[in-house]
Amino acid sequence: MSSDEPTGGPIRLLLADDQALVRGALAALLDLEPDLSVVAEVSRGDDVLTAAREHHPDVALLDVEMPGLDGVAAARQVLADVPGCRVLMVTTFGRPGYLQAAMAAGASGFVVKDTPARQLADAVRRVHSGLRVVDPQLAADSLAQGTVPLTERETDVLRAAKDGGTVADIARDLHLSEGTVRNYLSSAIGKTGARTRAEAVRVADENGWLLR
């Protein structure tokens, strides 16, 4: 048996965060716990699945916003491909849309990075035992907000608009007519309560509705 296979010892953790200082601090804090062991760290979302396959973590702690692949998409990959691994989202951005997307993807928990170390360690243990753990303020905000109001196509169009594309650019990238793009933008502006395309993008982004 290799050293990276599960042994029944401490809870094995995979950390994914693109900020090296944050990732290092989390690793140091969690490694202080006698029943927790950080076995892998990655800085990109598209490296998560490879690391999970190699190191067989019990719990993957994933940031939401990472290069290569967002944490929610990475969570879907891990949960589909690495049996026995649970996912705890640990993010700076406590956005209701992020929480809803993470839970829909199958994550077992969602906490913010300023969670005290003892509470974070406890969240890891609870997730490992099969429980769900959600930041209470974020859960309340999510309930108050309700479901994401945008359709998939409206989300696609706003995401493309966030990247600075013109209507013609968006139409080309999404294989739509310019008129259809304008209709989706108009609908999204109305649903977000915005007055302009830029404001609609900002509102959707702040609520965490633009994840892929």
Q: pLDDT tens digits, residue range 95-151? A: 778 888 898 899 999 998 888 989 999 999 999 999 999 988 777 666 656 677 888
Rg of the chain on CA atoms, in Å: 19
pLDDT score, position 2: 40
Q: How far apart are CA 106 and CA 57, in angstroms?
A: 16
The full set of domain ranges for the chain reads: 11-144, 152-206
Architecture of domain 152-206: Orthogonal Bundle (1.10)
Sign of CA dihedral 3, 9, 10, 13: positive
HSE on the CB side for 35, CA within 13 Å?
A: 9
Which CATH number fits the domain 11-144, given the four candidates 3.40.50.9100, 3.40.440.10, 3.40.1440.10, 3.40.50.2300?
Answer: 3.40.50.2300
Q: How far apart are CA 65 and CA 22, in angstroms?
A: 13
Query: Exposed (0-12), middle (13-18) or buried (19+): which is 34, by Cβ within 10 Å?
Result: exposed
For every residue of 156-188, DSSP letters joined together read HHHHHHHTT--HHHHHHHHT--HHHHHHHHHHH
Same fold for the domain at 11-144 and the one at 152-206?
no
Q: How far apart are CA 83 and CA 194, in angstroms?
A: 43
Note the pLDDT tens digit of each residue in 14-53: 999 999 999 999 999 999 999 999 999 999 999 999 999 9
Tokens of 116: 């005290």
Q: How far apart are the first and last CA of the chain?
A: 38
In this prediction, residue 207 has a pLDDT band, given cuts at 50, 70 and 90, of confident
Q: Please check whether residue 145 is in contact with residue 96, taking contact to mean a CB–CB distance below 8 angstroms.
A: yes
